[in-house]
Chain A
Amino acid sequence: MPRAAIVADKLTKWFGQGDARTYAVKEVSFQANWGEMLYIVGPSGSGKTTLLSMISGILRPNSGSVKIDSRDLWSLSDDELADFRLNTIGFVFQDYHLFPRLTTAENVAIPLVLKKRKWDEALREAARFLEVVGLADKAHLPPTKLSGGEQQRVAIARAIVHQPEILVFDEPTASLDGETGRKIVSFVKTEILTPGRCIVMVTHDSRIFEYSNRIMEMEDGRITGFQQGGSYEA
């Protein structure tokens, strides 16, 4: 019996007012489970990223609720939400959003620094996670000296360095060639996904569908269906 990690109930988000109001997400309900890699797919403008933002605590819905491990996310204050994101969520952004003026190790150490870990200690921990993603020898380089695939792996290391339970990926393969994209997602599935972790990934890259457990399809702000992906073997 799958255990629910994220439960979204009738999530609705609109932008604009009056006649200009546009619904990005309309009464979306779904559940993502621990040990599951759930993809959200759909055409541009279907509300994937808006939904991802609402379930990760960075965009307040107009109505509906999100429960993570039975905790109502949007009943939290702004500071509590920031703490929640820092402790529970790992983000991998579409454009990586790595800091070009910091070294790779310093980039990875950022969530630990925000968690008030000492700088040296955070760097040591970051180096360990760079080893996990196969970039131990690039720790001292700035991200600008790395290839796209390597930068993506640095972003993944930054997302997991503080051991979050939920990882959200926004179009992780959008800037990568097919081979590199597959390698990255395969790595995420085999090395990062654990029974105590849930990964939600927004993508429209059909080349990586095989790595998902489930695929949720969206169109015009609504869920249009679910498909089974590959299965997770613990």
Chain B
Amino acid sequence: MKEILILAYKLLVNDKGKYTALLVGTTFSVFLIVQMTSSFAGILTKASATVINVGAKVWVMDPGVNTVLNSIPMPDYVLDSVRSLHGVKYAVPLYSGGALVKLRDGTYQPVTVIGLDDTSLFGRPELLQGSVDDIFAENGFVVVKDEEFHKLENPKIGTEFEINDHRGVIVGIARVATGGLFGTPTLYTTYNRAIQYIPSMRFTTSYILVEPKTESDIPQIKQRVESLGYLALTSEEFQGRISSYLKYQTGIGTNTLLMTVISFIVGLSISGQTFYTFILENLDHFGALKAIGMKGRELVYMILFQAAFTSLAGYGLGIGLSTILITAAKLRLPEYASRVTYINLGLAFVMVLIIASVSSYAGIRRVLKIEPFDIFRG
């Protein structure tokens, strides 16, 4: 069989024009599919940035919360109730909200402010410069050095600024695992300072971060929190909820899906038609092979091999091209939200397999119908 596959390979790649067209079709399709899904994956990851960066196991929130930045404040008694639940090791409040920083030139820059529990600083970022204890100093803020850092005019330790008409001082520079989606710099401070500086309603707790005693306590905690009228989600569940919201309750998911389907159709059209034309142009040769003594199933193997080889080569090229483009884009645009995940690669692979199957199916049907007698008849 190996020798027949070598024959199939030579017949395919030696027809340089057709082979190039087939490769271009598949590569283009994979490139578009991976680009679209990677951009979407990047958006989903950035949308969950705070959840990933804070790193709490369980988050308690108002049931109306769909994204981490649009929190709905809860009354203080909820924190006390959660702390008293069986299976809770400890529970701390977290503030998440927006504020305005006045820059030196007098313009305002929106920022995200995360207020950490004053006693534990649970969820604090990893500091690159400064000491975490300084966050308790007067007006102390820690700034995150991410893609948005420059929007605060690259502050240093000791840099003073104005936030919501209050004085602020940078006491630390930190890094986080994931940058945010909306292009705003992030400042960390204590919970009490956050609610003091940022105007808020009567209720102030955005989220309650819970550390369960054991993993097995989580279902019970979730159930009890639900009976209080609130929602407890694990970190993964919260990220999934944010993803679902973006996928199904905004146009982002639908647009991405549509573009992915269009990319697939474009790839299928180009590759399918080119492959079918390739088969048609070689029909008399396949007939000659059949006359000489090639069996029907060997012809099927040949065509399947040609379709699979082209598709896999196009898949590899498409993935390579996407990766190069995403890497190059991130060098110029650090905030570019794109992330190649195994799910993206798997999806593109499945679509390529479908393209190969559909392309070869039509060709196989045609080749199996040809009679060697037709070759004699001309």
Contact = CB atoms under 8 A, between A and B. Distances in A.
Interface of A: 49-50, 52-53, 58-59, 78-79, 82-87, 89, 91, 93-95, 97, 99, 101-102, 106, 110-111, 113-119, 122, 170
B203 interface: no
Interface of B: 1, 3-4, 6-7, 10-11, 14-15, 284-285, 287-296, 298, 371-373, 375-378
B3 A117 contact: yes
B285 A82 contact: no
Contact of B373 (A58, A95, A97, A118): A58
Given A114-B294, A122-B3, A102 B373 contact: no
20 contacts: A52-B376, A58-B371, A59-B371, A78-B296, A82-B290, A82-B294, A84-B293, A85-B293, A86-B292, A86-B293, A91-B288, A93-B291, A93-B376, A97-B375, A101-B14, A102-B10, A110-B7, A113-B6, A113-B7, A114-B292
Contacts of B291: 58, 85, 91, 93
Contacts of B284: 95, 97
Given A102-B14, A117-B3, A87 B293 contact: yes
B376 A58 contact: yes
Most buried by A among B7, B291, B295, B378: B291
Contact of A59 (B7, B14, B373): B373
A170 B10 contact: no
A4 to B, nearest CB: 23
B295 A99 contact: no
Most buried by B among A82, A102, A117: A82
A170 B374 CA distance: 13
A79 B378 contact: no
Contacts of A122: 3
Most buried by A among B10, B15, B293, B375: B293
Given A49-B376, A113-B4, 9 more contacts: A58-B291, A82-B294, A93-B375, A93-B376, A94-B378, A97-B285, A101-B15, A106-B10, A117-B3
Contacts of B6: 113, 119
B378 A82 contact: no
Nearest to B298: A114
Contact of B292 (A50, A59, A91): A91
B21 to A, nearest CB: 15
A87 B14 CA distance: 28
A80 to B, nearest CB: 10
Contacts of B296: 78
A101 B292 contact: no
Contacts of B377: 49
Given A106-B10, A119-B6, A99 B285 contact: yes
Contact of B293 (A49, A95, A97, A111): A111
Contacts of A58: 291, 371-373, 376
A115 B1 CA distance: 10
B376 A113 contact: no
A114 B4 contact: yes
Nearest to B14: A101
A99 B293 contact: no
Nearest to A113: B3
Contacts of A170: 376
